[in-house]
Structure 1
């Protein structure tokens, strides 16, 4: 039979991802505070969707550790615990270390230029106190080797655990420590350009390991 022209299934998948992204970002940017109760009906009204994609999104958020579900009762926004931060930080750091080590031999001049441009945007955003801009630029910079390495399993792991760190990164990039990251990015790019796989991988690992226990509570 011919391929159906309807895209209902794709639309539903995009809707689920969109709802998940909205709720995830609202937790990360502090719209929803730790300990706050999340009710299906209220969230559905806010986003203008049915309760089904809300429930699916809350389940995904529970897997990342951003919310805690209390069976038969409610779902609440989780706190930023030192243990959760340590565990997510170690996993994310290891994934970026692997991505950089695999990507360095394949990085092109254009790839390196994208990283330099992202770091310039990052520096400008940090200087201006634009936390959202700093996060976006930081994602763009580190996303280059992640994309070049092409490891889908690695990308899936990062998608699950990076949101746990994102609330702490917001605090970091709003402080003097954010300016220190500019130099770390410069060193990462320099080593990538030099073809130093191990050195670049070590810097990438250390960049994320720099999210210390002191950033959590």
Structure 2
């Protein structure tokens, strides 16, 4: 495994959440490629944490479909599972739709300002060609309504399934098509500010469904190849 450069993890961050985030991000940005073998001793050296939080982080990554573990043999980075990602995308979209519907009556002016500021950072990252910062800003944008809704079931489901979508989200934010999300975010903010919970919820669902074309593209290519073979 090619070990990435040292991340300078502070002693206070020597927890499974830190290990999870660093490993997840390395998988999402391609530093750790599909099929890459993850060895405990190399991960300990890279992350500066003990084996226990690493194993806990790997268990969470396996649940998210980002790694595969063969007990007593090896742990490797998983290839992108399109079926699982499509399923996760549908559920994540529904959870954010629900969160916005519940959050709108509770949002404050400060919340609306935070959404606008996050979208500004998101737009700036896309213009700069920085998909990783765009991902963080997109998270911050949607986190406002999830937090305001205060629905712990939604938080739990999103925590489990959002990592499944990371590689597809990054791909979208690496392309020009991702810039359409800026206008979609602006519309969501406007509807939230106007107190229109139903329209804001539907606009949020539409925003999350913009990942669908990336998930359907391989299928369309296969169908196209099949038509050529039978021509």
Checking the alignment, whether the CA contact within 8 Å between 2:14 and 2:49 is kept in structure 1 is no
| 8 A contact 2:168–2:214 mirrored in 1 | no
Task: Identify the residue that residue 90 of structure 1 maps to in structure 2.
Answer: 90
SS in 1 for 2:211: coil
Equivalent positions of 1:23-38 (< 5 A) are 23-38=23-38
TM-superposition CA deviations, 1:125-183 (whole Å, max 9, x none): 11111112211111111111011001122112111111111111111111111111111
Select the structure with the greater relative contact order (CA < 8 A; seq sep ≥ 6): 1
Moved over 6 A (4+): none
How far apart are the structure 1 equivalents of 2:12 and 2:184? 41
Gap runs ≥5 in structure 2? 1-10, 219-231
Indicate the residue corresponding to 1:79 in structure 2. Answer: 79
* Partner-residue secondary structure (3-state), 1:129: coil
* Matches of 1:214 and 1:20, distance apart in 2: 25
Do structure 1's residue 148 and structure 2's residue 151 form an aligned pair? no
Alpha-carbon RMSD: 1.8
Cα displacement (A) at 1:19: 1.5
SS in 2 for 1:111: helix
Offset of residue 12 of structure 1: 9.3
SS class of match (2:76): strand
For normalisation by structure 2, the TM-score amounts to 0.84
Partner of 1:111: 111
* TM-score, normalising length: structure 1: 0.89
User: For this pair of structures, how many residues does the alignment match?
Assistant: 207
Moved more, 132-141 or 89-98: 132-141
Query: Unaligned regions of 5+ residues in structure 1, if any?
Result: 1-10
Match of 1:8 in 2: none
SS at match of 1:210: helix
Counterparts of 1:83 and 1:103, CA distance in 2: 30
Give, in angstroms, the shift of residue 13 of structure 1: 9.2
Query: Hey, what's the Cα distance between the residues in 2 that align with 1:87 and 1:214?
Result: 14
Contact residue 86 and residue 213 of structure 1 kept, 8 A: no
